[in-house]
Amino acid sequence: MAFSLHGVKVPHRKNTANIAAVKMASPATVVLPTAMHIGAPATPVVKVGDHVDIGTLVAAANGAVSSPVYSSVSGTVKKIDDFLTSAGRYVPAIVIESDGADTVADITPPQVDSKESFIEAVKLSGLVGLGGAGFPTYLKFATDKPVEQLIINGTECEPYITSDTRTMIDDADSIADAINIIDKYFDIKEYIIGIENNKKEAIAEMKKIAESNSKVKVKVLPSRYPQGGEKVLIYNTTGKVVKAGCLPADVGVLVFNCTTMAYISRFIKTGMPLVAKTITVDGGAVKEPKNVTAPIGTSLKDVFDFCGGFTTEPSKVLYGGPMMGITVPSLDAPVLKQTNAVLALTAKETRIPAQTSCIRCGTCANTCPLGIDPAAIAKNYEAGNIEVLGKLGIQVCMECGCCSFNCPAARPLVQTNKLAKAAYRDYMTNKNKEENK
């Protein structure tokens, strides 16, 4: 598939870009799902009635792809109950009632003196991709392929979201320190900080890092969504193409979100596992939009209350941005490890235009950053031609929403792509089973 600077020009609405994160006090209760990452849910290691402190392990990693979970408050385990994730599966969740004391577990910085001990430290930290993907971070470092470039993703191309911008402005030293730590244990030739050109203050801070480290380069990119898509970012910073079915490491690249990098430095220095997350709280229904550092597991209701509540009843509440965000079913939903924003949007902001018939204008194909044809995919999916979907590249769709955003007929192309991708995956699974009988 061809990569390019295609995509869409979205309204920025970076209302909170100049607001440094404000720390939120521990809420009365936190809910900690055991799956806040891609892979197997962690296994609870506490029981009802146990006392925990901030940083106490409450669920251990389970399997090759998993991540541990730590308590974000001090208090008592009240129950362990099923939790419905955004992926549509139930996993155990640990509910902790805070005692308000904020006592901290006995924590010491990890002993890191080799590549192996660094990877183990990152694994024990509970760190996952903090840009929203939720992939356990240690697994990227554990690649046995040679790495030429490490890309730090500071693009933050979704409307509203500014939590990464604030990391680059307020915690640039931690990003620089993480680069130095990683460089001790990995043979990486170049570190590239990719950042959109609408973040002037953050660009200035990132250029200071490059000025003090000759292996660091700042690549200022056009402000065009989805600039932060992993494969798009790799192409636009290095010229390398990650083919379907391949990983960035297959072309000698690792990609980490800028906030993920900053956290690596803080964990190596302090040993405090991932227990809090800085998120952007915004949207037309929010009374006081701001960036908030909240304990993981805090309910969205508590977060919005911390921001003054609502000016009007929200029409829709999202995890993440309006392009790739996921609607939450209830304000009881908690802040997760990978949450970078929560938006409460008004009816005007969520109005869906009336859908009309496809006019075969080709706009969806022309704006797709991965060069696929959503209209053709929709046509074949609706006709039941599932085998053809693979030839059309459905497996590389990253569900960025550019096709739907720009469609003059207001067709739900990205939603159809999601259904088509699932149908093609099931088709290939069944085909492989038949062939292996």
- What integer pLDDT is reported at residue 187 of this predicted model? 95
CB 259 within 8 A of CB 167: yes
Pairing status of strand 326-327 against strand 22-23: unpaired
Strand ranges for 303-376 from DSSP E:
316-319, 326-327, 341-345
What pLDDT band is residue 65 in, cutting at 50, 70 and 90? very high
Q: Check residue 2 and give its pLDDT.
A: 44
**Percentage, residues of the chain above pLDDT 70:** 99
Q: In this structure, is residue 92 part of a structural domain?
A: no
Tens digit of pLDDT for each residue in 236-284?
A: 999 999 988 899 999 999 999 999 999 999 999 999 999 999 999 999 9
Q: Which of 329, 351, 373 lies at the terminal end of a domain, its last residue?
A: 351
Strands in 276-282's sheet, in edge-to-edge order, are: 22-23, 290-295, 276-282, 341-345, 316-319, 326-327
| Share above pLDDT 90 across residues of the chain, in percent, rounded to a whole number | 92
**231 pLDDT more than 60:** yes
Kindly report the number of other CB atoms within 10 A of residue 315's CB atom: 16
Would the pTM count as exceeding 0.85?
A: yes
Residue type, 3: F
CATH number of the CATH domain containing 215:
3.40.50.11540
- What number is the average pLDDT over the span 220-248? 94
- For the segment 185-214, what is each residue's pLDDT rounded down to a tens digit? 999 999 999 999 999 999 999 999 999 999
The answer to whether residue 98 sits within a structural domain is no
Q: Which domain holds residue 380?
A: 363-435
Q: Which residues contact 204 (CB under 8 A, 6 or more apart)?
A: none
Mean pLDDT for all residues in the chain: 95
Q: Cα separations (Å) of 382 from 60, 378, 387, 412, 423?
A: 43, 6, 12, 13, 11
69 membership: H or E segment, kind and range? strand 69-70
CB 70 within 8 A of CB 107: no
According to the model, what pLDDT value does residue 5 have? 57
- What pLDDT does 95 receive? 98
Give the mean pLDDT of 42-61. 98
In a domain, 77, yes or no: no
User: If we measure between CA atoms, which residue out of 314, 308, 307 comes closest to residue 290?
Assistant: 307
Distance CA 330, CA 301 (A): 9
The residue among 351, 371, 391 that closes a domain is 351
pLDDT tops 70 at residue 1: no
Return the SS3 of 148.
coil
> Is 340 a residue whose pLDDT tops 90?
yes
Same domain, yes or no, for 163 and 258? yes
Asked whether residue 226 is domain-assigned, the answer is: yes
User: Domains in the chain: how many in total?
Assistant: 2
Domain check: are 397 and 325 in the same one? Answer: no
Q: Are residues 332 and 392 in the same domain?
A: no
pLDDT classification of 3: cutoffs 50, 70, 90: very low
Tokens found for residue 201: 């203050």
